[in-house]
Amino acid sequence: MHRLITCICLLFPVLLFAQHKLDYQLQVHVDLVKKTFAVQGSLSFETEANTADSVDIVISKGVGAVTLQLDGATARMDTSVNESGDIVYRWRFNHAMPTGSPLHFTYAYERGDAPAFQYYLDSAFCMAGGYGSAWYPQVITRSEDGTGKYTRGTGTIKVTTPANLMAVMAACTLNTTATTGNRTFEFHYTQPDIFSLYIGDYSRQEYKGHRSFYTYSFSKAVNGDDLSRKAASVLDFLSIQFGPLVIPNFSIIEFPEYVSDRTGIGGASILGGVVMPTGALRKFNYALFGHEIGHQWWGNKVLSVGNKGEAMLSEGLAQYGSLQVVNHFDSVHAIDYRKTGYPGYINDQCGLGYLKNAAAGNDQPLSDLSGDNSHIIGDSKGFLALELLSATVGKSVFNKALQTIGEKYSRDGVTWEDFQREVEKAHGSSLQWFYHQWFERVGVPAWQSSWQQQQNKLQLTVTQKDSIYRLSLEVMLTYSDGTKSLQHITINDRSTGLQLPVNGRVVDVQIDPYFKVLHQDDTLMLMATAQAKVVQVVNLRIQQKNEEAISLAQSYIRAGIPGDHYGVEFSLLYQLGRIAGIQNKSDEALAYYQRSLQCVSRAPELLAYVYYRIAQIAAAKNDQVLLQWACTNAVKADGINNEADGMEAKVAQLSHL
């Protein structure tokens, strides 16, 4: 999955009951052919201290005027535009409202088909993700640090669509009624949530386990029973790690591959469900589903409070859960996940991904991750630091702490300080040394070693090259007869001398052979340093700074890349092609992709996608010769890369366009 944003968690750190008894009565009338999305209804809540003087309601910019009225209170209203381009309606009360005062608003507007983050509408499909797009009126809660967050609410949402379509929402109960030519879906939320709505030609498959699982799909290639069965196993396993989870049901919701390409969204977690593009559902991926289901606790059941450590309390812990799932269900690939990436999952969410970003100059302390680094660093360095923390205190102790947090802080949210304190409490002694070296500073350990054998003793010296860490490490000894033995050491100084017992002639000594401690591995550092150029371009692209990304990539290519053993020029040309494609410059994109194929060194994880992008362009141009050639080579390249990208299914869709 090589997209702008490959996997996201649809959540914000909010206080669950920050606006007391927020309730919606909401009606939506959708006509995909006419591209209309009409919203009307009411919302009400009781004021808290932070809404005594004013209240903010956010609505995405739509078509025509918005009717938004406050009933029974005197206030003046002004508007502004936030960073996302949404309209903020601020109501300033003439007099401070006593805590518990009821407020009631009515609203009506036409949202239309103007795209926004997590909002997409065309003649066949609609995605309205409430966490990223205020498609319905979102009430803002002000946290103690002054940040504004969307507030969860209960309520009833009635969605009317043409009879051939199905509306889907998760974590709620549903009643359906039919009239001539239309169907109305009535969703009832008793558990506060941010509402996300999906509309398409869906069919529903149900799986009965410990709880009901539903798969909503429109592709015959999606095996809903297999997906639900395996997802149920993952959810049951994580319930043992993280504690009980109460949701009405669980839903796996498909959305079209082309929507994923256009929006850059390759997967999402919502309360009571996961939302995935078609390609991600054709083959169950334990890392992907482990991460998204992990968000059911970290970001849904337990919400973070404040900015400090926010990414670690959502992305980091969800990714930690994903690693536990891989350890349990697919242990043979656990080292890949930690080191170079889990097959078929996001390439850079691993140790190598972090090292690439650090080499590119993109690094922040885990406790202060901001912006896109919540995913970039939180899902590469962050989950490995949490895995090391669990090994330091003991897995059972760490799980106990997480279960305590899940029950103790599910109502009012958890701060970063709360999290650290609960782990320390479960451990029984201070962990400030660990928090400082892994959470409060940038970088990771770097060491070099030397050894000398003296009969049945091995003299080992380990020297830390940069910052000093306190580390427990495994050492793999290889003997002349091919046998191996694993020993454990602890280092905490600039230079540490150790004496290890041996029982034969040692020919090789490897420290941390299974990459259980994120560090500057020599081989990985060569790759990371080379690929840092690509990472810089990709990060600019993620920030939607396309012109800067183009300029930087072209400057690297003009300067030349001597000794290009890691497909750097190839990867840069691919990124230039992706940006040109986003800008609807298909001929320019095709030229970049074709040029990339002429590079001697090509990145295997991107090669299949180069052919696939060419196939997409060929399909749009109705060039059957180019389409067949590109599809054939996409499948071949994917086969060489262990079918990590599921290209056979992807090109099958293109072939039928």
| DSSP type of residue 25 | E
Cross-strand partners of 58: 88, 138
- Rounded to whole angstroms, the Cα distance separating 278 from 653 reads 10
Residue 96 and residue 177 in contact, taking contact as beta carbons nearer than 8 Å = no
Is the whole model's pTM more than 0.85, yes or no? Answer: yes
Res 91: pLDDT: 93
Q: Which CATH architecture has domain 310-439?
A: Orthogonal Bundle (1.10)
319-336 tens-digit pLDDT: 999 999 999 999 999 999
Burial 526-551 (b: 16+ CB within 10 A, else e): ebbebbbbbbbbbbbbbeeeeeebbe
Query: Residue 246 and residue 248: Cα distance in Å, rounded?
Result: 7
Please tell me the distance from the alpha carbon of residue 1 to that of residue 646, in angstroms, as a whole number. 10
Contact indicator for 212, 146 with CB cutoff of 8 Å: no
Integer CA distances (angstroms), 142 to 49, 50, 149, 306, in order: 10, 6, 7, 10
Domain segments of the chain as ranges: 8-284, 310-439, 447-511, 524-655
The matching CATH number, chosen from 1.25.40.10, 3.40.630.30, 2.170.130.10, 3.40.50.10710, for 524-655 is 1.25.40.10
Question: In the prediction, which pLDDT does 17 show?
Answer: 39
Query: C-alpha 331: how far from its chain's center?
Result: 22
Q: Which runs of E-coded beta strand occur in 170-236?
A: 173-179, 182-193, 197-200, 203-208, 212-217
CB 133 within 8 A of CB 39: no
Strand order of the β-sheet with 447-454 is 447-454, 457-464, 495-501
The answer to whether residues 151 and 141 touch, using CB atoms and an 8 Å cutoff, is yes
pLDDT value at residue 374 = 95
- Which phi and psi (to 5°) does residue 228 adopt? -65, -40
Residues of the chain with pLDDT under 70: 1-19, 143-147, 655-657
User: How far is the CA of 383 from the CAs of 64, 438, 503, in angstroms?
Assistant: 45, 11, 37
Q: Which DSSP letter does residue 481 get? A: T
Element (H, E) at 1: none
* The dihedral formed by the CA atoms of 265, 379, 130 and 254, expressed in degrees to the nearest 10: 50
d(CA 398, CA 381): 18
Class assignment of domain 8-284? mainly beta
